[in-house]
Structure 1
Amino acid sequence: MNRLPSLFISHGSPMTALQPGQVGPRLAELAAGLQRPRAIVMASAHWLGRAPLVSAAPQPETIHDFGGFPEPLYQLQYPAPGAPALAQEVAQRLADAGLQPGIDPRRGLDHGAWVPLRYLYPQADIPVLQVSIQPMLGPQHQFALGRALAPLREQGVLLIGSGSITHNLHDWHSYSEAKEAPYVRPFIGWVEQKLEADDLPALFDYRRQAPFAAQAHPTDEHLLPLYFAMGAAGGDQLGAQRIDAGIDQGFLAMDIYRFDGADAAA
């Protein structure tokens, strides 16, 4: 079995589930080019905590963790099975890395997980579990989470971070498809440049070094899954490849990244 890449996905607003835009076809194309995983581990911007938790529900519910959207959105389900045995292995790997995880036997799939998974694997027949992220511990901690789980890529497990390359909800009605926020393209260009250069110190220090960092991310949680995916590349050579999926509503950059690590140079 070939080693799977790790992925970062910008999941956009919950409405992406009904309005796929560019990201839906891009995710379908991406999945079509990958070997079928035996399981999926996702770190979503919508499960936060003080310590890492691993979901172990045998049949995770579809969580509609949002309000004020059209009723059809709340009817959508993603009935993928869970992976309790894999959850125990994930927790053990995190413990071995000194990350002090816990197990949550009831946690379902939040929209940061099930919205993109509807386009990656619409049959919902691949077991899925989630790992929480810890915003107060910063990018290097999320990188360590991914690094601890990187060996699972050799066992047919797809490791995914789900967040957003830009995420400033204060701008929800300020921009549009015809009027982009001025900070978006400089920020995504900087991220792409640093990822292609494997410049981990700069990426860890994005708040100080990236252009318009405070505008692109007033809070960290939607960028932190990127670091999980970077860590899951398995080394300091990321093998990053950007997949452009457009800019939703003029302020949500929908970039997708795949990280092949050292395999990218092979």
Structure 2
Amino acid sequence: MLPAFFIAHGTPSLAIEQHAYTEFLQKLAKSIPRPKAIVIFSAYWESPLQKISSSIHPETIYDFLGYSEKLYNIKYPAKGDLTLSLHVQQLFQEEGIHCELDDERGMDHGAWAPLYIMYPDAQIPVVALSVNPKLTAEEHYRIGAALGSLREEDVLILGSGGTVHNLHRLDRNNPVPQLWAVEFDEWLAEQLETWNLEAIVRYDERAPYAAEAVPTPEHFAPLLLAFGAADGARRAKLLHHSFQMGALSLCCWMFGGMKKPQRFLE
């Protein structure tokens, strides 16, 4: 059984950066069994209705401006998997979660940028899923939990977003993590590691500096979705944590576990 993971996607330039976090993502992909397919929730696909990509050849979407030309030359030609898309739809419907297939949606950088680092050969089929920032934290957890059985089918469930993600508080001249950002992530880590679901779903009320760390919920939602996907196991482990520009958290959380645990590099 594969774990579910939350991965921070940082800025779009993550795909061409070289540092401890990108090295970690490369090693992470090699440390787990190669999945048959990937299901990924991206913070950059917002929809009031749960959408499931069903395109066989999803396009690479460049949903950003002002970055290096190298980024716009990247293609991530992973194929879709219609059978898996229909299976995801069925799992949602069984839990009363309204959803629909979308055969036009490509892969935004919240999906392809980390996958480009982890699986650069683009040979693993990918099904992208939308997020609805207007849902409650409990609802996000429930959506993730609906897909938990996919882990037993060697499908890798990923949530791509950010825990501390406030672009207005970034300091490009000072990489030292800001205290408020550190305190939020430390609180979050304590609750996740003890699977304190009651606290997590009320993070906006209980966490220190929640308004600063999560000014809008779309980047935090993928964490809750990946968290929920391991509801049957309820184990959480922080595999990597670092910061960029003082207030952009780069972290990776593993939820659930494998039958044969392997060594994860911190």
TM-score normalised to the size of structure 1? 0.94
Contact 1:239 1:263 (C-alpha < 8 Å) held by counterparts: no
User: Partners of 1:256 and 1:238 in 2: how far apart?
Assistant: 16
Cα distance in 2 between the residues matched to 1:247 and 1:21: 11
- In structure 2, relative to structure 1, the CA distance for the partners of 1:262 and 1:60 (3 Å cut) is closer
Alpha-carbon distance in structure 2 between the residues aligned to 1:97 and 1:86:
17
Aligned mates of 2:43, 2:19 — CA distance in 1:
21
Looking at structure 1, the residues matched to 258 and 197 of structure 2 have their Cα atoms a distance apart, in angstroms, of 15
Q: Tell me what 1:212 maps to.
A: 209
Q: What residue identity is the alignment partner of 2:252?
A: I
1:196 corresponds in structure 2 to 193
Shift of 1:109: 0.7
For 1:52, give the aligned amino acid: Q
Paired AA for residue 220 in structure 1 = P
Find the partner of 2:13 among 12, 15, 18.
15
Query: When the two structures are aligned, how many residues end up with a matched partner?
Result: 261
1:119 to 107, 117, 126: 117
Aligned residue identity for 1:239: R
TM-score using structure 2 length: 0.94
Shift of 1:24: 1.1
The correspondence of residues 114-153 of structure 1 with structure 2, limited to 5 A, is 114-153=112-151
Aligned to 2:242: 246
Task: Name the counterpart of 1:38.
Answer: 36
Contact preservation (8 Å) 1:151, 1:234: no
Q: Is the CA contact 1:97–1:148 (under 8 Å) kept in the aligned structure 2?
A: yes
Q: Specify the code of the residue in structure 2 equivalent to 1:146.
A: G
Q: Which residue identity lines up with residue 49 of structure 2 in the other structure?
A: A
Question: Which structure 1 residue ranges, 5 or more long, are not aligned?
Answer: none
**In 2, Cα distance between equivalents of 1:218 and 1:174:** 19
Deviations 1:106-142 (A, max 9, x none): 1111111111101211111000011111110121111
* Number of the residue aligned with 2:229: 232
- Read off the aligned partner of 2:45 and give its amino acid letter: W
CA positional deviation for 1:173: 4.0
Amino acid of the structure 2 residue aligned with 1:72 = K
Kept in 2, the 8 Å contact 1:195–1:238? The answer is no
C-alpha separation between the residues in 2 aligned to 1:16 and 1:262?
28
* Aligned twin of 2:60: 62
Contact 1:22 1:245 (C-alpha < 8 Å) held by counterparts = no
* Matching residue of 1:81: 79
Query: Could you say what the CA RMSD is over the residues aligned between the two structures, in angstroms?
Result: 1.6
Partners of 1:239 and 1:261 within 8 A in 2: yes
Partners of 1:138 and 1:224 within 8 A in 2: no
Change in 2 beyond 3 A, CA 1:262/1:74: closer
- One-letter identity of the residue aligned with 1:246: S
| Cα separation, 2, equivalents of 1:68 and 1:30 | 30
Task: From the superposition, tell whether residues 102 and 85 of structure 1 become closer, same or farther in structure 2 (CA, over 3 Å).
Answer: same
Which residue identity lines up with residue 230 of structure 1 in the other structure? F
* 1:200 partner amino acid: L
Unaligned runs of 5+ in 2: 262-266
Q: Give the partner amino acid of 2:166.
A: N
Give % identity.
38
SS at structure 2 position matched to 1:188: helix
Q: For each residue in 1:199-240, what CA deviation from the matched residue of structure 2 results, as whole angstroms up to 9, or x when unmatched?
A: 0010000001001001111111111100110111033x5211
Residue type matched to 1:99 in 2? I
Aligned partner of 1:160 in structure 2 is 158
Give the Cα–Cα distance (whole angstroms) in 1 for the partners of residues 137 and 258 of structure 2: 21
Return the letter of the residue paired with 1:156: D
Amino acid at match of 1:218: P
Which segment is superposed worse, 69-78 or 18-27? 18-27
After the TM superposition, which segments of 4 or more aligned residues of structure 1 sit over 2 Å from their partners? 172-176, 179-182, 261-265
